[in-house]
Amino acid sequence: MKRRSILWFREDLRLDDNPALVEAAKDSEVIPVFIWSEGSNWPMGAASRWWLHHSLLSLDASLRLHGSRLILRKGNPLDELHAILRETGAQRICFNRRYTPFGLQQDAKVENALKNDRSDVHVFSNYLLFEPWTIKNKSGAPFRVFTPFWKACLAEHIHQRSCIAPSEWTSPPLWPKSLAIEDLALLPKLNWANRWLEFWSPGERGAQSQLKHFIENAFFQYDQARDLPSVQGTSRLSAHLHFGEISVRKIWDSIHQAAEKKQIAPATWQKSQFITELGWREFAYHLLHHFPETPHSPLKPAFDSFQWNENKDWQTAWQKGKTGFPIVDAGMRELWQTGWMHNRVRMITASFLVKDLLQPWQMGARWFWDTLVDADLASNTLGWQWSAGCGADAQPFFRIFNPVLQGEKFDADGTYVRKWVPELSKLPNVWIHKPWKAPDAVIQNAGVELENDYPRPIVRHEIAREVAMEALRKIKPA
């Protein structure tokens, strides 16, 4: 009789380039398992749960094409794995490592407990190009600045090739019990995400299709188009990558192959801005591993005493896209309506919250965590600490985005604002990012009544900037 292997899925919801699957399928009957557990100190946000629901459906459909299926459980992972071992007589467990502090801790606990029970455990590195503890500066310490970090990574000569999924594997004659997807209760209770399938295709097939589209239509123009929120100039792969529906190695290899066809040397394409963005993802996990307190505490200790000015009304206006600054409001409405926001606009909206409104960056991070389909603890933490000026390689606090100038620079014709703030759609370009300054006749012709149809700015940027600078001077950050 063949041995049996449990394939434990987590943030690797795919078949291709999945070393745990390759190992599990070696002369073995494979039992694919996903265990829903909310034991983390950062429980998955509502938008991410929506994505997970559909990704699990997609994974199960892919498995069934191979005569297999996905076994769903919920509860303590170690307890459930022990139960499945007893029910199936499986001898091996294969899984891919996670890299959040909680994930590493839980994985180590599970691995040690199973080995003590004499189970055969195989754990693989597959979520990042480099494990966070493997890249160090010349002193053997973690990096705090991105450029030397990524230079050190590239010097390691990234050459790992993604592995191909086995074409077939053996399933057990009898399956253990499984919950239905509805039993996990992942979908939002609010009628919030009912249109999101118009924007997204969760799952491995959707990820591969999106990668192909990006390489063919946007990668080689990425450096020029990535900052324009009205065009499809970014990859839109972030959620697929977070849930492991596609691996970073697969993305790297696919771009490498596309560049070779165009006879573009590695020294050139590896310096592209998109590849650099993959490097920022690696850097985010590097920082999270070495500084695990950063999801809730600033990396720069001086910011512990920063005087925020918490204002629930301002926070609500920001969340609902009713601040009176069109580029900010467009981004926040795009987020609510699609579960995603363009990266340039993420920076603008974050800067506005922490610097114009002086609201704690942790509050913004929690809102993004709950509303982004691509919410990722490492990247979310890095992004918000960068915007607040309190993290590694952070934007200086005194660099405060002017939301009007940002809108005029990156949405010059107002296409993005008109899409997400339709009440301003008839305003001329010259006023689209500052409607409160438009002449009365222009406002009337556009059919807009300020304060009723669209709010006036909740703060004056020029004054807010000075207030923020004064707050900064009081802490004198290093």
Catalytic residues: 277, 280, 308, 343, 361, 384
96 touches 123 (CB < 8 A): yes
Q: Which two tokens stand for residue 204?
A: 């491995």
Distance, C-alpha 97 to centroid of its chain = 18
Integer CA distances (angstroms), 108 to 41, 76, 105, 255, in order = 17, 14, 5, 34
Q: How many residues are listed for the chain in this entry?
A: 478
The full DSSP string for 285-325 is: HHHHHH-TTTTTS-SSGGGGG------HHHHHHHHHT-SS-
Helices (H), 77-161: 77-88, 101-116, 146-155
How far is Cα 247 from Cα 18, in angstroms, rounded to an integer?
8
Burial call 54-86: b when 16+ CB within 10 Å, e when fewer:
bbbebbbebbeebebbbbbbeeebbebbbebbe
Helices (H), 226-304: 238-242, 248-261, 266-269, 273-290
What angle (nearest 5°) sits at the alpha carbon of residue 323, between those of residues 319 and 327?
90
Burial call 396-422: b when 16+ CB within 10 Å, e when fewer:
ebeebbbbbebbbebbeebebbbebbe
Decide: helix, strand or coil at residue 33.
strand
Decide: helix, strand or coil at residue 402.
coil
Burial call 299-310: b when 16+ CB within 10 Å, e when fewer:
bbeebeebebee
279 touches 446 (CB < 8 A): no
286 touches 135 (CB < 8 A): yes
**Residue 26 CB contacts under 8 Å (≥ 6 apart), including other chains:** none
Distance, C-alpha 413 to centroid of its chain = 29
